[in-house]
Amino acid sequence: MTEQEIFEKVKGIVVEQLDVDAADVKMESDIKNDLEADSLDVFEIMNELEDDLDIKLEADENVKTIKDVVDYVKKEIDAK
Amino acid sequence: MKKIKIVETASYVPQKIVTNDELSQIMETSDEWISTRTGIKQRHISLGENTSDLCLHVAQELLEKSGWAPESLDLLLVATMSPDSYTPATAALVQGKLQAKNALAFDISAACSGFIYGLKVAEKFLQQGSTKRVMLIGGEVLSKVIDWSDRTSAVLFGDGAAGALLESKTSGDSDFLGASLHTFGEFGDKLEAGKTEAISTFPNLKEHYIRAFSMSGRDVYTFATHRVPESIEEAVSKAALTLDDIDYFVLHQANSRIVTQIAKKLAQPLTKFPLNIAEYGNTSAASVPLLLDELVTQGKIKRGVKIALSGFGGGLTVGTQVIKY
């Protein structure tokens, strides 16, 4: 998967889970501050990515922005 | 085949209510933080009453409502993760105080799935030979096993008890239609309470050491949002029904957000997933019967209504029982 494809995947899940406008989900968006996600939303976004992409994602401490999520997912896919 | 009927339900919660605002005075939290993440607004906390005391109130109300004599009970089960002691069983304490002298009594330890596991045990007893009348109570005093310095878990729980009388019948419409119970012991360490340690030297005169509640939040959240929909689908399918046939999904009240996710995964309307977590918090084994009793009392669950009761939690365990009430 390319970075762009992963971004689109993450965006789809974030839009669905957080009920936000797709246009507001950008690479630099801060998940908690800009998109108003709380810790359980982050669980759910990670869970959906795990289920859809068949990867394992650990707890969310180092994930702040959408780009962090995309990079993390890409790293896990590449490591498969 | 004998049919199984829930004859009566009853519940009891301790008087003292602790609101989120009161909790925020003793720990770093807020009503907004707790209610948006969990749906909890308050919980009942027991002062002085132990688990068997709460259960005894429920037991007495069940007998009063049904007119059953205590000696007519064949089996008395208490589902709990916060028993009065290792031994005697909390069920035995209730049996003694109730003078239900013909009832075999023991506890069921399956945490928040305890009531559902209890229904399965009751069903097996009722289907065989001599057992005709069963009392099943889920009761917890979680306030005594919580680590009150851990704000991530202390805000979640409450105390309470609720239960049901079950009877085997050869006629009538009410019955248990299908169930799905699973245990995932490999994830046991994801949710622990009352963990003990073996002594490491002998002789050893140090105080007994029992650990308070601890939980891996994300693992349990992920477990619940995956395994519970599977369990419900399996139980409904075994009942030869579809999800649309179920009038109410009476789920363990751990977190309203978990219930919302489960409804979404099952593609069923949220209106079929009643909630009372705002008032009681997570009461573990008591939560499913507390909600069941509330819905029966409100007249929402009437005879003939099809319900799926589902619990999930420590073990890790999950269980669903589909019932025609």
Report the phi/psi class of residue B239: left, alpha or beta, with left for phi > 0 and alpha for psi in -120 to 50: alpha
With CB atoms and an 8 Å threshold, state whether A38 touches B37. yes
Which of B36, B222, B255 minimises the CB distance to A47? B222
Per-residue pLDDT band for A61 (boundaries 50, 70, 90) equals: low
With CB atoms and an 8 Å threshold, state whether A44 touches B218. no
Alpha helices (H) along chain B: 20-26, 31-38, 51-66, 90-98, 114-127, 151-154, 217-238, 256-266, 277-280, 287-297
pLDDT, residue B129, reads: 77
pLDDT, residue A60, reads: 58
Q: B37 touching A, CB under 8 A?
A: yes
Residues in chain A closer than 8 A to B226 (CB atoms): 47
Query: From edge to edge, which strands make up the β-sheet containing B75-79?
Result: B3-12, B160-169, B133-140, B75-79, B104-108
Task: Name the percent of chain B lying above pLDDT 70.
Answer: 99
Q: B257 touching A, CB under 8 A?
A: yes
Q: B128 touching A, CB under 8 A?
A: no
Per-residue pLDDT band for A59 (boundaries 50, 70, 90) equals: low
ipTM surpasses 0.95? no
Q: What domains are there in chain A, each with its CATH number?
A: 3-79 (1.10.1200.10)
Q: What domains are there in chain B, each with its CATH number?
A: 3-169 (3.40.47.10), 175-324 (3.40.47.10)
Q: Which of B20, B50, B255, B282 is catalytic?
A: B282
Please give the Cα distance from B305 to B295 (Å, whole number): 11
Q: B222 touching A, CB under 8 A?
A: yes
Per-residue pLDDT band for A1 (boundaries 50, 70, 90) equals: confident
**A60 → chain B, closest CA residue:** B218
With CB atoms and an 8 Å threshold, state whether A40 touches B222. no
Give the residue ranges of chain B where pLDDT is below 70: 206-208
